[in-house]
Amino acid sequence: MKTKPKPRGPLLGAHMSIAGGVGNALLHGKRVACEAIQIFTKSSRQWAGKPYTKEEIEQFAVNRRETGITTIIAHDSYLLNLGTPDAGLRKQSVAAFIDELERCEVLGVTHLVAHPGAHVGAGEIAGIKTIAKSLDQAHRACPGYATKITLEITAGQGSCLGYRFEQIGNIMDATKESERLRVCFDTEHAFASGYDIRTKEGYERTFAEFDEVIGIDRLAAFHLNDSKKEFNSRVDRHEHIGKGHIGVEAFRLLLNDQRFWGLPMCLETPKGPDLKEDQENLTLLRSLIGNGTPSPNALLLEGAETENR
């Protein structure tokens, strides 16, 4: 059996606009030397989107080959709430979510990152049950899909669930086809929800807990964002790398942790049309690789099977 080669580092990139056509995101990513990108599969501010044309799908594939950006993840619309107790809104959310999964599958996007959902006053236990029910419906509608639903750690604003590792673990346990689920670790969200990754000790403790509660093998993607707000604020406000309350050291530790080499790590920081901010953030991040001590618990990936990611 052939084994995949050992990754040489993390796959750094950013969320890219699909304005003018979904394939344009790859061209934008190439401009700032992305090794991976994240996209919306349609406008994040609308419930419905036009189906992709054959030409759009073909152009996406062409741009993928020509840019060399083969690792692409997607983020679902912020309108969706898979945990709402409102039956009408949940039905609409699940239908839109299934549509996004179908779009990902057509494009060959490996992971659809999703905020688990908000219980809107129904309580954590009820919310987790509702989210799992919604995920079950999506899985049933998309049998055999290569695209994996990838639950994102949240900051815990309002009644949003997924801000504690236990909540993500409980959602996965309550989902029937839980083997199809993966997790996205957002640095700002984790920091805002009480996981202090600023020091080596805090970083090691955070991922040891993640491994114990969820399983490190379930981690499939990262969002790299500093935080405008202080530790444990439960507020979702992204800042440029090194300019927020997290600081540079956490990113140095993460980028040199060989357990996560080969995984997409995408920025979700503010930027203008010239992508200057992405360029600056990526340059800083790349300067940290090899410029620090890797995690002592890092698992060397040579010869390791990574297909389940």
- The one catalytic residue in 90, 111, 182, 238 is 238
Long-range pairs of 99-102 with CB within 8 A, sequence gap ≥ 24: 99/48, 99/49, 100/41, 100/42, 100/74, 100/76, 101/138, 101/141, 101/142, 101/145, 101/147, 101/149, 102/142
- Active-site annotation holder among 90, 111, 139, 189: 189
From 35, 76, 100, 186, active-site residue: 186
Residue 288 C-beta-side C-alpha neighbours within 13 Å: 22
* Residue 240 falls in the annotated catalytic set: no
Catalytic residue among 55, 78, 140, 305: 78
Question: Is residue 45 annotated as a catalytic residue, yes or no?
Answer: yes
Look up 15 and say whether it is catalytic. no
Report CA torsion sign: 106, 94, 82, 22.
positive
Q: Which of 90, 223, 240, 252 is catalytic?
A: 223
Spot the catalytic one: 75, 119, 139, 240.
75
Answer yes or no: 226 catalytic: no
Exactly one of 76, 152, 188, 278 is catalytic; name it: 152
- Selecting among 64, 90, 103, 115, the annotated active-site residue is 115
Best CA proximity match to 244, nearest among 198, 286, 279: 198
Active site residue 139: no
Helix axes 276-288, 248-255, angle to 10 degrees: 60
User: Is 78 considered catalytic here?
Assistant: yes
Residue tagged active-site, from 268, 277, 280, 309: 268
Residues 6 or more apart whose Cβ sits within 8 Å of residue 274 = none
Active-site residue (options: 236, 240, 259, 278): 236
152 classed as catalytic: yes
Which residues are annotated as catalytic? 45, 75, 78, 115, 152, 186, 189, 223, 236, 238, 268
